[in-house]
Structure 1
Amino acid sequence: MTIPEPETGGVRVDASDAQTFVTSLLVAHGLSTENAETVARGLVQADLRGVESHGINRIPSYLARVRNGVLDPKAEPTLAQITPVVAQVDGHNGFGFLAAARGIDAAVEMARTFGIGMVSIKHSNHFGMSAWIVRRATDAGMMSLVFTNSSPALPVWGGKSQLMGVSPIACGAPGGHDSKPFILDMAPSIAARGKIYKALRRGEKIPTDWALDSEGKPTDQPAEALKGVMLPMGGPKGSALAIMMDVFSGVLSGSAFAGGVTGPYDMSKPGDVGHFLVAVKPDLFMSLDEFRERMDVLYQRVVGSDKMHGVERIYFPGEIEHLTEEQRLKDGIQYVQDEIDALNAEAERVNVAKIRTM
């Protein structure tokens, strides 16, 4: 593992131009400027961090759902305070980014006063990369947990049909005085399903241990993988984690669960996704200064561990993504031409300016 090197080839887009382009597309489809900027920021942040499967290339599918009437671009999330430290957000079938932003901000404010805040979110949609929500909390000086459920793509262990979602588990904590925040964002599958869609868009093959085709056989073809099932990491462990996401995000919230969530590429009905967010004040049991000092110690012990053969550097969770973001803020975000063409086709449809390339 090495520090990300400058990328070559493809089409480059400055992050600010990507933000402007996506915002204009969303406004043209009925979102307020403020809400469009929130959605665009989450998508661009994914591309900056190297999580292209959850970046601006999600826009065509989101807009198709808007045009098909199964995602309400004008919906505003509403919040109900349940207890002093618990609230629920109703996404009203709007963009998941908006429901999640409202939820994590509420959790952070409760944590400022009471030390902890918990928000359950119902009737939402796909909210992109979970790390942008974790980062919204760490930027506010809070630890956080971010759960969601998603459309069925994984079998339960021992089964062969799609039942559980590839639902990310994410959490974070502010960094120390000399270290970056701890940010974990991982799927319970060997790979995120969005990576298969990305490979399909780019005409690439996938590793044969990512998924099974419709006959239950390993495949390196993304189209065949999407007809079959993703494989959970660690066998029954990954399967159990996916069920856990459904319990906390779907069952608890009152949203869809047990295979009932509609995916972002399905135009048949609303998503009815559920989320579960927690914010925790890091200086509950010690001073903030001591907490940061302890985080520095943890960071140094992790990255300074003895390395296995062939490893040049050990990274703290979220560090590679941070380094990638620094590189892409300087050099631009790289896309393939087909991805740019698909985005520009959306621009032509609503008569907004095409994406500006470097």
Structure 2
Amino acid sequence: MLRILQAHDPCARFPVPKPHFENQGYLTMKISVKDAHALVCETLMRCNVRADNAASIATALVTAEASGQGGHGFRRVPAYSAQAKVGKVDGMISPIFEKPTPGVLRIDAQHGFAYPALDLMMDHLPDMARTQGIAIAAIHRSHHAGVMGLTVERLAEKGLAAMMFANAPAAMAAWGGRRPMFGTNPIAFGVPVGDAGDPIIIDLALSKVARGKIMAAKQKGVAIPDDWALDVDGNPTTDAIKAIDGTMIPAGGVKGAALAMMVELLAAGLTGAQFGHQSSSLFDDKGAPPALGQLIIAIDPKATGGVGVMDHLAYIANEIAAEEGVRLPGRRGKQARALAEAEGLEIEDDVMETISQIK
């Protein structure tokens, strides 16, 4: 997995990017992964974010962008920066933790960014899971958790199966209602597959599409499909602005709405975080800190499946992948990151201009 964080030099200086060219109708420019990290890092540091926190955030955003998840990449920099400048998110704070029982890690992000809290989780949860067989991290007073598949992938690369749940500011109604109650509330799962190759990574939002895609459409000024969201009156809309003011359509109808409720109870109810309808937006600098929650479960497969478990997991991964047209989830993002590392990232001109104007 792409990890750029450098403890000795967290934010190396960002140089002038290469000339722009056109791709799919948008003017873009090419930028190396290293330079992209420096750009994000320097921008955040100008906005009251401590260097090590900025490096952690930049790693997450650039890795998301490199994975093809632009809604959780460069386009998050303006909102993150604006929120840090006004104190809606504390860029200078460090997360703190306690272990109330041997199998539970409780992290208080202290209204800071989620990524330093997730890094802290990675420092402790793997060893706890190996010792106990299973361990849980509960994070509260947190922020946007980004591409959660990247977090469970970090655990899977350490030989652990992992599930992650996160709540988000309200964007979906309970089934049959109109009032936004739950966020798009993503679920992520990762599992190592031994000799079958890279871990299987499943990452999905419980809305029909991730809300970041609608935000990206708003920033680009383009329409969205009419089956992504409803306006405030409960009608389908192709207007991204009306979609953000309205509600997202749940994936799978009533089943997706029920799963969103489940995640809300796991990620906010069990952690003590604010519920989605209590949380302020992640897209602007208005209101109090969102104080969101994340719950991560790590399992040692050898504890549950015995010494031959990796061969067992490799077998099913190979069986699935053997069928023509089937791709194991997580592999495409991994390939995209490798390509970005070799050839650089494309950043759209409007995004670069917006980021460069942040002071």
Looking at structure 1, the residues matched to 61 and 309 of structure 2 have their Cα atoms a distance apart, in angstroms, of 31
Among 312, 324, 338, the residue aligned to 2:350? 338
Shift of 1:105: 3.1
Aligned to 2:302, the other structure's residue is in SS state: coil
Is 1:210 aligned to 2:228, yes or no? yes
Aligned to 1:177, the other structure's residue is in SS state: helix
CA contact (8 A) 2:107 2:139 kept: yes
Aligned to 2:356, the other structure's residue is in SS state: helix
Shift of 1:35: 2.2
Among 114, 131, 139, the residue aligned to 1:113? 131
Shift of 1:296: 2.4
Among 47, 53, 68, the residue aligned to 1:35? 53
Q: How does 1:53-132 map to 2 (within 5 A)?
A: 53-132=71-150
CA contact (8 A) 2:139 2:294 kept: yes
What TM-score, normalized by structure 2, do the two folds share? 0.88
Describe the shift of the 1:153–1:16 C-alpha distance in structure 2 as closer, same or farther (beyond 3 A). Answer: same
Amino acid at match of 1:184: I
Aligned to 1:152, the other structure's residue is in SS state: coil
Q: How does 1:199-278 map to 2 (within 5 A)?
A: 199-257=217-275, 259-266=277-284, 267-278=286-297
Is 1:17 aligned to 2:35, yes or no? yes
Shift of 1:25: 2.1
Looking at structure 2, the residues matched to 296 and 210 of structure 1 have their Cα atoms a distance apart, in angstroms, of 36
- Give the match for residue 156 of structure 2: 138
Looking at structure 2, the residues matched to 258 and 336 of structure 1 have their Cα atoms a distance apart, in angstroms, of 31
CA contact (8 A) 2:133 2:304 kept: no
Amino acid at match of 1:318: G
Shift of 1:193: 0.5
More displaced 10-residue stretch of structure 1: 191-200 or 139-148 = 139-148
Looking at structure 1, the residues matched to 127 and 305 of structure 2 have their Cα atoms a distance apart, in angstroms, of 20
Amino acid at match of 1:316: L
Q: Select the structure with the greater relative contact order (CA < 8 A; seq sep ≥ 6).
A: 1
Shift of 1:328: 2.1
Note the alpha carbon deviations across 1:129-155, whole angstroms, 9 max, x for none.
112211221222211111111100001
Is 1:147 aligned to 2:165, yes or no? yes
Amino acid at match of 2:30: R
- Give the match for residue 204 of structure 2: 186
Shift of 1:114: 1.7
Amino acid at match of 2:335: L
Give structure 1 stretches of 5+ with no counterpart.
1-6, 308-312, 350-358
Amino acid at match of 1:231: I
- Give the match for residue 323 of structure 1: 335
Among 299, 307, 311, the residue aligned to 2:317? 299
CA contact (8 A) 2:169 2:276 kept: no
Amino acid at match of 1:54: H
* Aligned-CA RMSD value: 1.7
- Give the match for residue 354 of structure 1: none
What TM-score, normalized by structure 1, do the two folds share? 0.89
Shift of 1:27: 2.7
Amino acid at match of 2:302: D
Amino acid at match of 1:188: L
Looking at structure 2, the residues matched to 31 and 278 of structure 1 have their Cα atoms a distance apart, in angstroms, of 29
Looking at structure 1, the residues matched to 167 and 186 of structure 2 have their Cα atoms a distance apart, in angstroms, of 8
Shift of 1:326: 2.1
CA contact (8 A) 1:179 1:295 kept: no
Note the alpha carbon deviations across 1:97-133, whole angstroms, 9 max, x for none.
1112212432212012222111111111112111221
Looking at structure 1, the residues matched to 184 and 348 of structure 2 have their Cα atoms a distance apart, in angstroms, of 25
Looking at structure 1, the residues matched to 305 and 177 of structure 2 have their Cα atoms a distance apart, in angstroms, of 46
Shift of 1:258: 5.2
